[in-house]
Amino acid sequence: MMPRITAWLLAGSLALTGCSTLFDREIEYEPVKPERFVKLNAVGYASISAQQGSDQQQKMLQAMKASKLDAYRELTEMVYGQKIDASEQLRDRVLSDDKLSASVKGLITGARVVKTYALDDVYVTELELDFEQVYYLYQNSQPRQTVKSVRYY
């Protein structure tokens, strides 16, 4: 008699816990917007005369591209930081080999060219990255949200 009651109690408890997954729920989300947005500015430089090209116009175009890439590199450093690898080697307590390398990797979206100009033999590009613009770009593709309320029924 006792094993039969235990079996019924076990079956009843399993049935009750199984019912809790049958409830449906409604989750309401709301967007998360920062209180303020920052603007980053970066400047890139490139020597015009050092560029490869058969004439001055080609060198100018190459310098324009190089200065823009330099400005984007600077923005990427500001947003993602810079990776530094360094090594030193000692022989007989004397520094024999010293190596230092730096790299940066990242994706910059939403930057705009503020100004480009030549100054003597240097081409300059000024960029601006407005994080409000970046926020709205990412909200379209990957909205950042938090749970506002959950209703079970």
Q: Token digits for 96?
A: 């024999």
Task: Output the pLDDT for position 17.
Answer: 55
| H or E segment and range at residue 78 | helix 56-80
Q: How many helices (H) and strands (E) does the chain have?
A: 3, 7
Task: Output the pLDDT for position 33.
Answer: 81
| Tens digit of each residue's pLDDT (9 = 90 or more) over 16-35 | 555 455 568 888 877 778 88
Residue of 86, 51, 83, 89 whose CA lies nearest to 67:
51
Task: Output the pLDDT for position 26.
Answer: 82
What 3-state DSSP class applies to 36?
coil
Q: Is the dihedral of CA 134, 139, 144, 145 positive or negative?
A: positive
Flag residues of the chain having pLDDT under 50.
19
Task: Output the pLDDT for position 51.
Answer: 94
46, amino acid identity = A
Task: Output the pLDDT for position 22.
Answer: 58
